[in-house]
Structures are given as C-alpha cells and as structure tokens.
Chains A and B, each alone.
Chain A
Amino acid sequence: MRIRNALVATALLVVTMFGFASPASASESIGSCIIEVADELHTQIAGGMSESEAYAQAEDAAEECIEAPNPVLPDPAELIWVTIAFLVLLGVGIKFAFPLITKAMQARSDRIREDLEAAERTRLDAEAAAADYRASLGDAEAESARIMDEARAAAEAYRSSQKAAADAEAADIRAKANADAESIKSQALSDLRADVVQLAVGAAEQVVQHNLDAAAQSELIENYINQVGSAN
C-alpha cells in the first residue's frame, strides 16, 4: 500500500512538471526556422522582390535562426515558471509524497528487518533443530548401541541357557543311561543270584531227600513234638 502511494505521488510530480513546461523550445528549433525562412523567401520572390534582395533578407533571417533560443538555457520567464512549478511540486512532494515515501521506505525497512529477523530466527530454529537432530542422532546411535548390546547380551544369555539346558539334558541322559545300566546290571546279578540260589537250594534239597532216612525223619518229628510241647 505504501509503495503504491509512493508511485502515485511520483507520477503526479512528473505529470505536473511536463504540464507546466514551456512549449516555446519545441517550436523554436533551427529546422523550423529555416523552413519559415525558405517559405518567406519563396513568397517574396513570388511577390516580385528581386532575388538578390530576397536572398539577402533570407540570409539575415537565417542568421537570426542560427541565433535562435538556446535549447540548454531556457528563457528567464520559462525558468521562473519552471522554478515556481518545481517549488510547488517540491512543496507538494515534501508535504504529501515524502511522508508517504518515508513511511513506505520505513515500512519496507521494517519489513526487511523483520524478514531478516524472521530469517535469523528461522536460521536459529533450523540450527537448533539441526542441533536437536544431531543430538537425537547421537541419542539414536547410543540407543542403537544400547539395543545392540542388549541384543548381544540376550543372545549370550539365551546361548548360555540353551547350553546349560543341553548340558543338563545330556547329564540326565548319561545319568539315566548309567541308572539303566546299573539297573540292568543289578537285575542280571539278582537273576544270577536267584539262579544260583535256586540251584544251590535244589541241590541241598536233593541232598536232604537222600539223607533223610527213617531215623532222621523220626528225629525231626520228635524235635517238632518237643518244640511244640516246650513252646507253651
């Protein structure tokens, strides 16, 4: 808005300058003066003036064209008007346009400063974010390292537990195998002992049967009777 006001004020100043400018300088050029001199020459010859006299007058007129108004230095009147217009425009500009321009420039400066400040803040924020990111990256690396350590520890613990379980199972299998072997050995010894006892007792029975004659049988019966009688 401020920029637009400044542009309007500048345009008004330019239009005013051109509006108050003098038209004389444009019509008083050498070219147009020579043309006028040529026209006058032609008219004078056509009017019956001698050519020499007409040419002499034309030379004078042409010299006057050469001495025509200086395009660089305006006429004093024009200069006064231009000065007055300039002063008026300067006053108008100082009164209306300059504050607007100053205000617009100040606003622009403020905006640029704010933008710079915002950019600085953004930069600081970005740097902070970058720092945070780097910190989080560091944390992530540390967390990753911690997770890896934990994973390695867990794997080691699992391997140890599995090894312990396998060792225990192997020990159980060995113990069971030893127990089975011991049981089989004991059973074999027991069976062997039973067979030996059976054979020994069978042999003893055979011996007893052959040696138990009537006298021995009678003696056994007598002993039995005596034992029963004496037991009470």
Chain B
Amino acid sequence: MLEDQASAYAEALFAVTRAEGDHERVEDELFRFARALEGSPELREGLGDPEIPTVKRQQIVEDLLGSSAASTTVGIVSLLVATDRMSDFSQIIDAFVNRVARHSGAKVANVRSAVELSADQRERLTAALEQQVGHKVALKVIVDPTVLGGVVTEIGDTVIDGSVRRRLNQLREVF
C-alpha cells in the first residue's frame, strides 16, 4: 500500500519534473533533502507535526531550500508537507529517484562517503560501478560521517563496503 502510494507520487513528480525539464537537478536536490531529513529527526517531526499550521511548516521549507534549491524542488517539498506525507517522504523520493533512473535506463547507486566526492571521483566511480554491475548507473552520493572514511555503495541488493567503519567492525569481530 505504501509502495503503491510512493510509486503514484513518484510518477506524478516525474511527470512534473519532466515537464519542467530540470528533473535531474530536482531529483538530486530532493534526494539530498530526503537524506538530510533522515539524519534530522527534529526536522522530520517538525515538518510532519499536524499541530503546526501548514503555512508555518511550508515557510520552514522555504527558509531551508528557497535560496539554493530549484523552485520545483521547493514546491514539491511544500506539496508533500501540505498533504502530510512527511512520514513517507523518503520512500516517495527514493521511488522518484528510481523512476528517473529507470527512465534513463540506469540503476541507482547509493554511495555513502565521509566527505563529498569530487566530480572526477564521481565520474570514475560511476564508470567503475557500471563496469562492475554491467549496467548504467545513476550515482547518488550521501555524505555520512559515520562511515569515517572510504565509501559504501548500494546497488539494489548489492553492497560494496570499503569504509573504515567496516574495517573497525571487522576488527571488533576478530576480537
């Protein structure tokens, strides 16, 4: 049921962004906002709190994204806040990202790194992953300090973990 609703929202968002012609940017901004929302329970609860007037919550979205994000991105987030879909926000955005990647014939590769990857590193990692999985890859980078160092990539059910966190966990398991 939740997947059906997320897919329906994803299709609608894909139609809107495709019509606007900037779905790649909007997709990237929504993806980043979804990850930021996962890392901030206070923000997620605040935007989904029905006790707070919708206008007030939309104003918070404007304050957070208005200056840097595309208007389409701000509008989509405001729409989801107004329809009380913040609890499903990550699922909707992930479905939307997958829908965009499917449109371009690619698979989404969620990459978590302690620091931001440079453009060159993104390109070379994309190429390496495409060579690894034998398929076109849409790279989605998430800056995650818990990784400590290195990179963790998830493509579907495949996980390629080269993080310092994994090595520390291995060290813990050895002892």
Contact = CB atoms under 8 A, between A and B. Distances in A.
Contacts, number: 71
Interface in A208-232: 208-209, 212, 214, 216-218, 220-229, 231-232
A221 B113 contact: yes
Interface stretch (A87-95, A100-108, A167-175, A193-201): A193-201
Place the interface of chain A in its size category.
20 to 34
A217 B162 contact: no
A193 B151 CA distance: 29
Contacts of B129: 228
A204 interface: yes
A92 to B, nearest CB: 147
Nearest to A230: B128
Contact of A198 (B121, B125, B172): B172
A229 B175 CA distance: 31
Contact of A225 (B128, B168, B171, B175): B128
B175 A214 contact: no
B36 interface: no
Interface string B143-168: 00000111101000000101010001
Given A221-B121, A231-B132, A208 B172 contact: no
B150 A232 contact: no
A229 B130 CA distance: 9
Contacts of B114: 212, 217
B172 A197 contact: yes
Contacts of B127: 229
Interface string B76-118: 0000000000000000000000000000000000000111010
19 contacts: A193-B175, A198-B172, A201-B168, A201-B171, A204-B171, A205-B148, A205-B168, A209-B148, A214-B115, A218-B115, A220-B149, A221-B115, A221-B125, A225-B124, A227-B162, A228-B129, A228-B132, A228-B162, A229-B124
Given A212-B148, A225-B121, 19 more contacts: A198-B172, A204-B168, A205-B148, A205-B168, A208-B168, A209-B148, A218-B115, A218-B121, A220-B164, A221-B115, A221-B117, A221-B151, A224-B125, A224-B162, A226-B128, A227-B162, A228-B128, A229-B128, A231-B132
